[in-house]
Amino acid sequence: MGDEEHAAGVPVAAHGREALRQAFDHIIEQIAYHHSEDLERCWNIILDVTGRRQQYAKLDSWMEKRINKMPWLSPTRLAGEARYYCKMPSEMKPFLIALARRVKTRVRIRGFRERLAADVALGRADAHKETE
């Protein structure tokens, strides 16, 4: 089973970062061999996407910590605070509001799942169904 490969040449049983690195190297190799004129464009797209994600990872983490400490904050207020502390221009506020909404939803759903798991562990998961 270790020698099986997908059509793209990536091992089937490969997992994790090493597999991702191998797949990425294989894709770049194919682009370089067959479409060398597109290689620079592909690299620019990849760097743009990954750089953008890394750029806002700190802000995302800060917002998540802030929501955990003060869950009553609205996404608009959270975005305003982030804009103030990071000294961002006002044009960034719509993006920051959308980011704050995603963060708040993620934190809220994570809390719901944790409470549900605790209820299941304590045998209280069907407490609301007993009224039927």
- pLDDT tens per residue across span 13-34: 556 778 778 877 887 777 777 7
3-state secondary structure of 10: coil
- pLDDT tens per residue across span 55-107: 688 899 999 999 999 999 999 999 999 999 988 888 889 989 999 999 999 99
Does residue 109 register a pLDDT over 90?
yes
Q: How far is CA 90 from CA 25, 30, 75, 76, 81, in A?
A: 40, 43, 15, 13, 12
CA atoms within 13 A on the CB side of 10: 17
Q: What is the pLDDT of residue 53?
A: 65
Token pair 């089937």 in the structure block, residue: 12
